[in-house]
């Protein structure tokens, strides 16, 4: 089981908003596909599969998977790493006009980074009812008093994103079960 909080908990599927501002759904599916690939690669290293890309127009500025285990970094979330790399790529901490695609609803830290970097839009795959701060537990994208707001599209490729996470935890449980049975024939 996870017990891992954000970047890995349970994720019931919702249809999400799908209220897509701007980009058409084929474009969203394309970029979320890249984020899903980042997540898949992260899982090969034992990471909870979460992936993110930051795009401006049709240009991918940065991409990352979750790196929490590899780096033993509590802040090593995919979207935070991608946001920092994107800022480096454009030479500015202001990511105005940029969009973040992330497979799982961002946690408070990452949603906060999205406010601070002034992204234009965030599209996420599946909600995180135990940690999500773009709609589930709270919504920092339009939080009263904060000086930046951004658009959010939920449920982009939501089924693929939640299935990827479910499969990861299924496999993890199977591995643990086998380990428990240890020396048994």
Residues that bind Zn ion (CB under 5 A): 77, 107, 109-110
Compute the least distance from the CB of residue 77 to Zn ion, in Å: 3
Q: Which long-range contacts (CB under 8 A, 24 or more apart) does 138-147 make?
A: 138/108, 140/108, 140/111, 140/112, 140/114, 140/115, 141/111, 141/114, 141/115, 143/115, 146/115
Compute the least distance from the CB of residue 107 to Zn ion, in Å: 3
Cα angle 33, 92, 115; round to 5:
65
Q: In whole angstroms, how far apart are CA 146 and each of 43, 84, 112, 150?
A: 34, 20, 10, 11
Let me know if 79 is a catalytic residue: yes
* Closest CB to Zn ion among residues 80, 156: 80
Q: In whole angstroms, how far apart are CA 143 and each of 20, 138, 150?
A: 20, 9, 10
* Closest CB to Zn ion among residues 39, 110: 110
Q: In whole angstroms, how far apart are CA 107 and each of 7, 8, 35, 90, 94?
A: 8, 10, 17, 24, 20
* Closest CB to Zn ion among residues 110, 152: 110
Given the residues 79, 99, 105, 157, select the one marked as catalytic. Answer: 79
* Closest CB to Zn ion among residues 67, 77: 77
Compute the least distance from the CB of residue 154 to Zn ion, in Å: 16
Compute the least distance from the CB of residue 89 to Zn ion, in Å: 20
Active site residues: 79
């Amino acid at each position: 089981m996870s017990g891992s909080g954000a970047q890995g908990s349970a994720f019931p599927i919702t249809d999400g908003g799908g209220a897509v501002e701007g980009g058409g759904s084929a474009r969203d599916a394309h970029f979320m596909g890249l984020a899903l690939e980042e997540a898949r690669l992260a899982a090969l290293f034992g990471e909870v599969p979460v992936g993110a890309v930051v795009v401006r127009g049709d240009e991918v500025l940065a991409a990352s998977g979750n790196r929490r285990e590899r780096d033993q970094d509590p802040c090593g979330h995919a979207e935070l790493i991608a946001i920092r790399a994107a800022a480096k790529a454009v030479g500015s901490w202001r990511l105005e006009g940029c969009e973040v695609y992330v497979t799982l609803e961002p946690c408070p830290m990452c949603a906060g980074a999205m406010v601070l970097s002034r992204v234009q839009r965030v599209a996420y795959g599946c909600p995180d009812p135990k940690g999500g701060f773009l709609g589930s537990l709270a919504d920092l994208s339009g939080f009263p008093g904060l000086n930046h707001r951004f658009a959010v599209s939920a449920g982009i490729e939501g089924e693929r994103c939640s299935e990827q996470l479910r499969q990861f935890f299924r496999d993890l449980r199977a591995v643990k079960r086998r380990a428990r049975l240890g020396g048994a024939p």
